[in-house]
Amino acid sequence: MVLGIFERCTPGLTSEISQMVVLLGSFAEAQQVLREQGHVLSEKTLRLIAYRAADRARLAQKSEGYLGQSQESVAGRRVVISSDGGRIRLREKKRGPKTAKRRNRYHGAWREPKLFIIYVVDEEGQQERSFAPFIDGALQGPQTLFAMLISYLQELEIASADQILFVSDGAKWIWNRLPALLETLGLDGDNVHLLIDFYHAVEHLSRVASLRKDWSPRTRKQWLNQQRRSLHRGGIDQVIDAISTLCRGRNSRAIRTQLNYFVNHRKHMDYAFISSQHLPIGSGAIESTIRRVVNLRLKGPSLFWCKHNADAMLMLRAFSKSGRWSLFKSLTFSPSYALSL
């Protein structure tokens, strides 16, 4: 264990197997590629090795910290934080008799794995390539995710960052927890910005336009373009006034629902100011993360995951796609973890 040998597998082979499992489309593909390299292993063995490696890394994070021994910091940097959820199907046992082959029946329930990304941008608002982003997530719910996020940010010394931007869509599970997160981290200065993703806000404008059934397509498009420009220039009050004038007649209740979205997030839509600071006004980074980490491996036709296995795969994909596989290896084969057993 001190040498990092688990499941009769050396650290190098464990790392290679784990990478193959998360990067390729299935365990069968990983088995085929490894066989061609001279490693003849069953799919069951591949699962065992990869999942237990993920478990060891998570346990090491709880004892050593989420950054392990990397000692990275965002002090003096411009940091962007974003969060969102994906969709996968879990294999949940169904109550009742077993099948004729004595197998358990199960539900294919849809669940939402939640992820966050922490990255650094330069003075022009472009992502710094010298700083690999931190990506992580969980299936246990938003409370667990935000606890993880707080731990990451504390270890990164977020209070010493030059500028901090939280950008996300309007999901309530995110915005209801942001005030507590800021209070826990002691972030209350003028360098902390909260922003609704601009493109999600435009989607809500589009819904308002679509509810006006008496408008021609041309009128609808003109109104939408005008409000989009006003929103981008920082004219959230003008946008709210424009929507307010439409809250009458047919679909007035549905339009008022959209109006409330803009009213509730009025102070989170200062896109002109954020643009002037050369910070991103969209949450495209987390949208891309959801696609690369979740959709391309954990979501698909006839894919059903046990919760523990999905959580392990989520972690492995996050480390791989963020370019922080070396951190995963240092956590997985941590001598302090082995000595604590």
Q: What pLDDT is stored for residue 251 in this prediction?
A: 81
Q: What pLDDT is stored for residue 105 in this prediction?
A: 81
Is residue 276, in this structure, part of any structural domain at all?
Answer: no
3-state secondary structure of 182: helix
Other CB atoms within 10 Å distance of the CB of residue 207: 14
190 and 296 housed in the same domain: yes
Mean pLDDT for the stretch of residues 72-101: 90
Is residue 274, in this structure, part of any structural domain at all?
Answer: no
pLDDT over 90 at 333, yes or no? no
Segment 170-222, tens digit of pLDDT: 999 999 999 999 999 999 889 999 999 999 999 999 999 999 988 999 999 99
Report the CATH number at residue 288.
3.30.420
183 and 85 housed in the same domain: yes
82 or 70: which leads in pLDDT: 82
Q: What pLDDT is stored for residue 235 in this prediction?
A: 94
Q: What pLDDT is stored for residue 188 in this prediction?
A: 87
- 338/239 Cα distance (integer angstroms): 59
How many distinct structural domains can be found in the chain? 3
For every residue of 248-273, DSSP letters joined together read SSTTHHHHHHHHHHHHHTGGG--HHH
14 and 149 housed in the same domain: no
pLDDT over 70 at 341, yes or no? no
Contact between 88 and 247 under an 8 Å Cβ cutoff? The reply is: no
Contact between 279 and 125 under an 8 Å Cβ cutoff? The reply is: yes
Geometric angle at alpha carbon 164, from 160 and 169, rounded to 5°: 150
298 and 310 housed in the same domain: no
Contacts (Cβ under 8 Å, ≥6 apart) of 257: none
pLDDT over 80 at 43, yes or no? yes
Is residue 236, in this structure, part of any structural domain at all?
Answer: yes
Domain limits for position 221: 199-268
3-state secondary structure of 166: strand
Of 15, 34, 37, nearest to 6 by C-alpha is 15
3-state secondary structure of 108: strand
Mean pLDDT for the stretch of residues 297-310: 91
23 and 60 housed in the same domain: yes
176 and 221 housed in the same domain: no
47 and 118 housed in the same domain: no
- 113/135 Cα distance (integer angstroms): 13
Phi-psi region of 230 (alpha: psi -120 to 50; beta: other; left: phi over 0): alpha
Of 131-135, 159-163, 334-338, least confident by mean pLDDT is 334-338
Rg of the chain over CA atoms, in angstroms?
23
Segment 110-134, tens digit of pLDDT: 999 999 999 999 999 999 999 999 9
Mean pLDDT for the stretch of residues 312-321: 95
3-state secondary structure of 119: strand
Q: What pLDDT is stored for residue 340 in this prediction?
A: 52
167 and 232 housed in the same domain: no
295 and 322 housed in the same domain: no
Question: If you average pLDDT over every residue of the chain, what do you get?
Answer: 91
Of 298, 325, 258, 338, nearest to 90 by C-alpha is 298
Of 242, 243, 235, nearest to 271 by C-alpha is 235
93 and 226 housed in the same domain: no
168 and 205 housed in the same domain: no
Contact between 53 and 20 under an 8 Å Cβ cutoff? The reply is: no
Segment 246-256, tens digit of pLDDT: 888 778 899 99
CA distances from 71 to 66, 76, 152 (A): 10, 15, 11
* Structure-block tokens of residue 262: 């803009």
pLDDT over 80 at 1, yes or no? no
Contacts (Cβ under 8 Å, ≥6 apart) of 41: 17, 31, 34, 35, 49
Is residue 116, in this structure, part of any structural domain at all?
Answer: yes
Mean pLDDT for the stretch of residues 92-111: 83
Of 79, 143, 87, 154, nearest to 117 by C-alpha is 79
In total, the chain counts a number of residues equal to 341
Indicate if the alpha-carbon torsion angle 4, 7, 12, 15 is positive or negative. negative
Is residue 275, in this structure, part of any structural domain at all?
Answer: no
Mean pLDDT for the stretch of residues 52-71: 89
pLDDT over 80 at 243, yes or no? yes
100 and 187 housed in the same domain: yes
Is residue 277, in this structure, part of any structural domain at all?
Answer: no
* Structure-block tokens of residue 12: 């190098």
